[in-house]
Amino acid sequence: MSSMAAIPGTGPSTGPVGVVRKVARRRFADLPTDRTLVMGVVNVTDNSFSDGGNHFDAEAAIQHGLKLHYAGADLIDVGGESTAPGRDAVDPDEEQRRVLPVIEALVRAGAVVSVDTRHAATARAALDHGEVIINDVSGLNFEPEMAELVAESGAHYIITHNRGDAHTMDELADYDDVVTEVIHELSEVKDQFIAAGAQPEQLILDPGLGFAKSGEQNWELLRGVERLVALGFPVLVGASRKRFLGTLLADSRGHAPAPVERDHATAAVSALAAAHGVWAVRVHDVAASVDAVKVAAAWGGPNTAPQHS
């Protein structure tokens, strides 16, 4: 473990934040620009599809976030509400109780942090702890207050394509041309944020794999990701451990591997996404994807790395 932080629970303080030694904070502007970035996932939930709630406790979540940080994650995405299909919503007050101690500790440890939230109140509270990126999977149904917050704060904001919510999204995966329609709907949301006063350089686009998409539609979006990159905005791809990868890897009897057994396929997506110029990949297993994006950068050469503001 680096001297920047102690493992939660091993230091003299009994609180999960106090055991993290404060260091110089990295900022968005400090992120590498010569390769695709890797965003590590910390789910502070009791019903995560990927880990089942292993990091629901704040101390466990901080320890996991530090592990990802030292494994080479460029960013750490902290979320307190599972938005997988069928999951129930979490009250913003409870969401903040879950994520704010984790965000504070990871920022103190020098990590660049994003908050995975659909709620402007939670995003605002997270921004009190520093230059936090807002990662919002609301899609077309974002809270109006979110656009105002992004404009006034200057925070970077990830627009995820989505339709409906966790209980309705699967019913709304009806597209004539999924790539064209996702680009159109992302552009609609982007334009609303700019109209509210946000600057284009604050905005990052995510095609929303798994959100109101069938398995084949996810593959179509990955095949068409260069069209999204061509819009000129940083693009985030989040395929990690998702159901469509499990379907791909299913055995002859149709039994899909558990989410934690899909990390090799995730790393393959990371390498290919990096080769097609995406800004970042959002993953659970950081080390494998760090290797994957470095290989893609070396293979592509110095003139093919994604650029971002």
Catalytic residues: 242, 282
How many C-beta atoms surround the C-beta of residue 295 within 10 A?
16
Extract the tokens encoding 83: 């938005």
φ, ψ dihedrals at 40, nearest 5° = -90, 150
Question: Distance (Å, rounded) from C-alpha 107 to C-alpha 280?
Answer: 19
Which residues are CB-contacts of 301 (< 8 A; sequence separation ≥ 6)? none
Using DSSP's 3-state secondary structure scheme, residue 156 falls into coil
Identify the DSSP state of 235.
B
How far, in Å, CA of 241 to CA of 256, rounded? 11
Q: How far apart are CA 114 and CA 196, in angstroms?
A: 21
Q: Using CA atoms, how far apart are residues 273 and 169, in angstroms rounded to an integer?
A: 24
CA distances from 188 to 178, 194, 227, 265, 304 (A): 15, 10, 16, 32, 28
The count of residues in the chain is 309
CB 98 within 8 A of CB 44: yes
Nearest-CA neighbor of 242 among 271, 211, 273?
Answer: 211
Judging by DSSP bridges, how do beta strands 203-206 and 133-136 pair with one another?
unpaired
Give the rounded distance of the alpha carbon of 77 from its chain centre: 5
